[in-house]
Amino acid sequence: MYVDPRGPRFGAAVTTAVLAVVLLTGNGWLLAAQALVFALGAFGGLRFAPYGLLFRLFVRPRLGPPAQLEAEAPPRFAQGVGFGFAVLGAAGYLSGLTALGLVATAFALAAAFLNAAFDYCLGCEVHLRLTRLLGRPVTRYVTDNRRREAHA
């Protein structure tokens, strides 16, 4: 599936704001809600991503058509990484391990901000390193897709 690349970037900007509010207020439930947002995008697909919905309803109509469409897998992978950090952070805040909450949220905030401001590609940096570490791909999602396309 292909998406308007401005959608995930808009989502990253909203995520940056939400995570900053989490850090400022120390609200573990808000971070848990953000974890759910990440989960919907990562496991359900970007068409279920809540911030993507906001983009399509309110932002996209004000913009022209995108210069090009991009594959869904890279931003979806980034949502999965965000989910991991958000779960860790929420567990920290809600269990009283505030330091864990602060550190995990700080990493998620830095990644979301890099994505929003610099169009940073988290999957480019992280996925190959993880694969090297584990000796096999973390997920086969796109390679399977490519194979399907090749057979079609």
Partner 1 sequence: MSVVGLVVVVVALVAATAFGVLRRRRAGSLRVAAATETVGADVLGSSLGERATLVQFSSAFCRPCVATRHVLGGVAGSVPGVRHVEIDAESRLDLVRRLDVTSTPTTLLLDRAGRERRRATGVPRRDAVLAALADIVD
As given in the structure block, the two tokens for residue 93 are 């805040």
Q: Which of 58, 115, 52, 59 is nearest to 82 (CA)?
A: 115
* Min separation Cβ 113 and partner 1, Å: 5
Stretch that binds partner 1, among 45-53, 55-63, 82-90, 102-110 (CB under 8 A): 102-110
SS3 string, 35-62, reads: HHHHHHHHHHCHHHCHHHHHHHHHHHHH
* Min separation Cβ 125 and partner 1, Å: 5
Please identify, using beta-carbon distances, which residue of 5 and 50 lies nearer to partner 1: 5
Residue owning tokens 């480019």: 124
* Residue 78 contacts residue 115 (beta carbons within 8 Å): yes
Which of 13, 23, 53, 97 forms a contact with partner 1 (CB under 8 A)? 23
Q: Which residues of the chain form contacts with partner 1 (CB under 8 A)?
A: 5, 20, 23-26, 70-71, 73-75, 77, 102, 105-107, 109-111, 113-114, 117-118, 120-121, 123-129, 131-132, 135, 137, 139, 141-143, 146
